[in-house]
A and B are shown apart, each in its own frame.
Chain A
Amino acid sequence: MSETDESAAGDSPPVEEPATDEASSPAADDRSTDGESSATDLTELVEDDPETHTGDDDARYAPLEVEGLRKEFGGITAVDGVSFDVVEGTLTGLIGPNGAGKSTTFNLITGMLDPTEGTVRFNGEDVTGLQPHEIADRGLARTFQIARELEEMTVLENMMLAPKGQVGESLWRSIMPVTRGAVRDQETEQLERVWEVLDFFEIDHLADEYAGNLSGGQRKLLEMARALLTDPDVLLLDEPFAGVNPTLEKRLLEHIHELREQGYTFLIVEHDMDLIMDNCERVIVMHQGQILKDGTPAEIKASEEVIEAYLGGEV
């Protein structure tokens, strides 16, 4: 399995390639990356599935589909029959009280946990039960609830880690004199994009800092920037605003909106209801492991069940 992945990743051209030609504007850059090269990338990765991107031009194409997801820990059912899909180029919010199963759902989608039942389809391919790195390699990136920066690595190292298809990840290519040149070339190329993304998130002044020395909000930015560098189609953000001060929160939201306009797709877990209501075009409400309501913010606000669920325990 990993054999195929590797060769596919190795053979594919560096994904940023078309972008580096017009590097002046990060925005234009990202647009083209997402529109074209990720598609070619995917064809190569998922050769066995011709239907992979049938809906590519369709505005309502849903790259991520979750069906009947169930997870039991011992006797406790944390996620109970969850089904939804995430439409391309949208900001979808996943909310619910703590313990509703949001994070578990995330872990099930990204392969950190194996579901007891149900399937996860990504770009038409069944990715249920794949390892996290295999899923990430297919273009589904995530961030963590508590920012997990790589503390004793600099911000730059954190960022340079992320891109896919690095030839230098093969030990022999990295140490042999003949092949090391190619490794250096690719790294130099990749570095440009890293700096662009650092600029975009306005954390370029921290580039040489150890990630462990960053503030909580800066870590969140770093994490999102790093996830972006894996060149994903869909980004799963697990509570990206937790522990972030209001100024930074605003900035983070701007970045997310900007990226969405460039064509990235987001699924955001959050328990701050207002934040989700104000920013997402679609909201999924989870409660006790199940989906309570799935609709536009207006629909959610009007829903009796949701108010009940949020306030039920209190009254």
Chain B
Amino acid sequence: MSVDGIRGRFGGIFERDVTLVVAVLGALYLAYILAGVAFGYGLRGQLNSIANLTFYIGVFGMMALALNLHWGYTGLFNIGIVGFMGIGIYVTALVSKPPVGDGAAQVGGFGLPLFVGVLAGVLAAAFFGLLVALPALRLRADYLAIVTVAFSEIVRFTMMSRTFQTFTVPDTIDLWLFSFDPTADTVGLGGGGGLILNYTNPLEALLRALFLWDPYLGFVSFVEANVISNNPKPVLDGLLYGIVLLIGVGLFYLLLSRTGKSPFGRVLKAIREDEDVANALGKDTNRFKLTAFVLGSALMGLGGILWYSSRGSITPPSFRPNITFFIWIALIIGGAGSNTGSFLGGAIFAGVLYEGPRYFKNLVQAAFELGDAPRNFGEAMAGFASLDPMPFILYTLDSVSQLRLVIMGVVLIWLMHNRPEGLLGHRKETASSVDLARSGTGRSAEKPTAADGGENQ
């Protein structure tokens, strides 16, 4: 096999992945645009709808990729994802919210630049990942699951508790060699009321850092003058944030496929398959598991930051274990073990299961003139007494935000029965930094043994 042949093979895989991703994303976007047409959306409405879809594709894709490192590669059963996300965004908020003086109505932060906050959030998530992993990684998979979900609940209790609602910051903080005077007086986690994210707009911070803020504003006024006359900035912000998230997905993918396609990733895979064997082959499996867990936790923290940082506020109920299970379902749809599959799973989950039912409801409501839905299941069923299914249908439509969780559950069960490997779970994503074909070395390709050695499929 010539070098060109290998390139061809590689290119084949690559092209197939790109085709698959483009096809799936294309189908999702097309469906949403068509739905928008059905709703009679104008350009503004369409763009909003696309921005919304992109946002969820971005965050679920990112989180599924991070989980794939834990579960798909290393076999670490982490169901405390939302805890790491929460730590990420809460620490970011704490560090970057503007300081408030004594006696202020709400809690403030340290007022440091947003990138410091993001860095701190990611490091905090990594640190807590280490804290969980150090004792827990040698536990059986199901025990690790219970420990991690308990951990994420403890994180949520901490967010909610009054104890951590506010802290008073001392006027001077002495840290061994240097001391500094924080301007903040009252910081905290905000308790049940949560935190208002009144730091710099993250998009603005990012664009300013890249010296793109002024060009962007120029673009916005151009759009305002020529395309959307009525305050287009929120719409464009949403779209741009979606694009930033997709770039984030790309970076996650790059990082994780490099991690996977390396000797490091190979050991992770071996641990997933049989930890004793990896150990008997001289690999310090604990070190690998620890590193993988901490890296994954850090990425989950970053994912949490990107997910929530553009929201106006965060409250503890957003960090219930449901989010964790959403991400799991996304990963299982895509196929644990495959990075491309993880992203596709995230996208499909976001477009079909997470946002889809709501669109379906709106679509039905737009298509038919429907009356008010019954207030409860009893009234919904009452219609059947007079053979009128309408109340039930209306109630069902009205409850679509709950029913989509039922659908998710059923989909998960169906997948575990019929396709536990998901879309791409069984595909060979070879864990090596180089092509392992014999001819990869060039010279040995000349050896006669190569001829009868059987070419690789």
A156-B430, A191-B434 known; A199-B273 Cβ under 8 A: no
From 151 to 200 in chain A, residues with beta carbon under 8 angstroms from any chain B beta carbon are 151-154, 156-157, 160-162, 164, 166-171, 174-175, 180, 183-184, 187-188, 191-192, 194-195, 199
Contact indicator B262/A192 (Cβ below 8 Å): no
Say whether A161 contacts B278, CB under 8 Å: yes
Nearest CB of chain B from residue A11's CB, rounded to whole Å: 16
Q: Judging by beta carbons under 8 Å apart, are A169 and B444 in contact?
A: no
CB of A112 closer than 8 Å to a CB of B: yes
B457 at the interface (CB under 8 A from A): yes
Which A residues are CB-close (under 8 A) to B447? 24
Closest residue of chain A to B263, judged by CB?
A168
Instruction: Please indicate the chain B residues that have their CB under 8 angstroms from the CB of A92 in the complex.
Output: none
CA distance A180 to B283 in the complex (A): 20
Contact with B along A123-145 (1 / 0, CB 8 A): 00000000111101100011010
- The 10 A-B pairs at the shortest CB distance, nearest first, are namely A205-B454, A168-B263, A174-B262, A136-B282, A150-B273, A208-B456, A137-B282, A166-B263, A132-B279, A156-B436
Interface residues of chain A, those whose CB is within 8 Å of chain B, are 2, 5-6, 23-24, 110, 112, 131-134, 136-137, 141-142, 144, 148, 150-154, 156-157, 160-162, 164, 166-171, 174-175, 180, 183-184, 187-188, 191-192, 194-195, 199, 204-208, 210, 226-227, 230
What is the 8 Å Cβ interface bit string for chain B, positions 330-347, against chain A (1 contact, 0 not)? 000000010000000000
Is there an interface contact between B280 and A110, defined as CB atoms closer than 8 Å? Answer: yes
For residue B332, give the distance in angstroms from its CB to the closest CB of chain A. Answer: 16
- List residues of chain A with CB within 8 A of the CB of B456: 207-208
Q: Is the CB of A184 within 8 A of B279?
A: no
- Distance from B449 Cβ to chain A, minimum over Cβ atoms (Å): 5
With the chains together, A169 CA to B288 CA distance in Å? 9
Residues from chain A with a CB closer than 8 A to the CB of B267 are: 161, 169
Residues on the A chain within 8 Å of B280, using CB: 110, 112, 132-133, 136, 141-142, 144
Partner of A136, one of B265, B266, B281, B453: B281
| Residues of chain B in range 413-457 having any CB-CB distance to chain A below 8 Å | 426, 428, 430-434, 436, 438, 440-441, 444, 447, 449, 453-454, 456-457
> Can you name 30 A-B residue pairings with CB atoms under 8 Å?
A131-B284, A133-B285, A136-B281, A136-B282, A141-B280, A144-B277, A144-B280, A148-B276, A148-B277, A150-B273, A150-B274, A150-B277, A153-B270, A157-B431, A157-B432, A160-B263, A168-B263, A169-B267, A169-B283, A174-B258, A174-B433, A175-B255, A183-B263, A184-B433, A187-B433, A188-B434, A191-B440, A191-B441, A204-B454, A205-B454
Q: A153-B270, A188-B434, A207-B456 are in contact. Are A174 and B264 (CB under 8 A)?
A: yes
A133-B283, A168-B264, A204-B454 as given contacts; A160 in contact with B436, CB under 8 Å: yes
B362 vs chain A, min Cβ distance (A): 42
Majority secondary structure, B binding face: helix
Distance in angstroms between the alpha carbons of A195 and B438 in the assembled complex: 7
* Interface residue B140 (Cβ < 8 Å from any Cβ of A): no
Closest chain B residue, CB of each to CB of A174: B262
B68 within 8 A of A: no
Q: How far is the CA of A156 from the CA of B262 in the complex (A)?
A: 13
A194 to B278, CA, bound (A): 17
How many angstroms from the CA of A255 to the CA of B287 in the assembled complex? 35
Interface membership of B221, Cβ < 8 A = no
Contact of B278 with A187 in the complex, beta carbons under 8 Å? no
Inter-chain contact A161/B266, CB cutoff 8 Å: yes
Q: Are B433 and A183 closer than 8 Å at their CB atoms?
A: yes
Q: Once the chains bind, are B264 and A169 in contact (CB under 8 Å)? A: yes
Q: Which residues of A contact B440 (CB under 8 A)?
A: 188, 191
CB contact under 8 A between A175 and B434, given known A144-B277, A154-B428, A160-B266: no
B291 at the interface (CB under 8 A from A): yes
- Taking the complex as formed, is B269 at the interface, i.e. its CB lies under 8 A from any CB of chain A? yes
C-alpha gap A175/B193 in the complex (Å)? 41
Name the B residues within 8 Å of A148 (CB-CB).
274, 276-277
B96: Cβ under 8 A from any A Cβ = no
**Are B444 and A175 in contact, with the CB atoms below 8 A?**
no
Is B380 interfacial (CB-CB < 8 Å)?
Answer: no
Question: For residue B457, which residues in chain A have a CB less than 8 angstroms away from its CB?
Answer: 208
Contact A207 B454 (CB under 8 A): yes
Question: Which of A131, A164, A174, A180 is in CB contact (< 8 Å) with B279?
Answer: A131
Complex-state Cα separation, A240 to B453, whole angstroms: 25
Residues from chain A with Cβ under 8 Å of B258 in the complex: 174-175, 180
Q: Chain B residues near A24: list those with CB within 8 A.
A: 447
Indicate whether B295 reaches chain A with its CB closer than 8 angstroms: yes
B183 CB to closest chain A CB (Å) equals 36
**Could you tell me if B279 and A150 are in contact, using CB atoms closer than 8 angstroms?**
no
B259 proximal to A (CB < 8 A)? yes
**Chain A: CB-nearest residue to B281:** A162
Known contacts A2-B287, A174-B258, A175-B258; decide if A161 and B270 are in contact (CB<8 Å). yes
Specify which of A2, A134, A175, A199 is in contact with B262 (CB 8 Å cutoff).
A175
A160 CA / B438 CA spacing, docked (Å) = 13
- Point out the residue from A171, A192, A226, A230 that lies within 8 Å of B295, measured CB to CB: A171
Q: How far is the CA of A167 from the CA of B264 in the complex (A)?
A: 9
Q: Tell me the bound Cα distance from A207 to B279 in angstroms.
A: 23
Nearest A-chain residue to B337, judged by Cβ: A152
User: Do A230 and B264 touch across chains, with their CB atoms under 8 A apart?
Assistant: no
Most buried by A among B255, B277, B337: B277
Fill in one digit per residue for B188-228: 1 if any A CB lies within 8 Å of its CB, else 0.
00000000000000000000000000000000000000000
* Contact residues in B for A169 (Cβ distance below 8 Å): 263-264, 267, 283, 288
Q: How far is the CA of A205 from the CA of B436 in the complex (A)?
A: 13
B269 touches A153 (CB 8 A): yes
Specify which of A156, A171, A194, A199 lies most central, judged by the most chain B CB atoms within 10 Å of its CB.
Answer: A171
Q: How far is the CA of A311 from the CA of B132 in the complex (A)?
A: 54
Task: Say yes or no: A133-B279 contact (C-beta < 8 A), given A152-B273, A174-B263, A180-B433.
Answer: yes
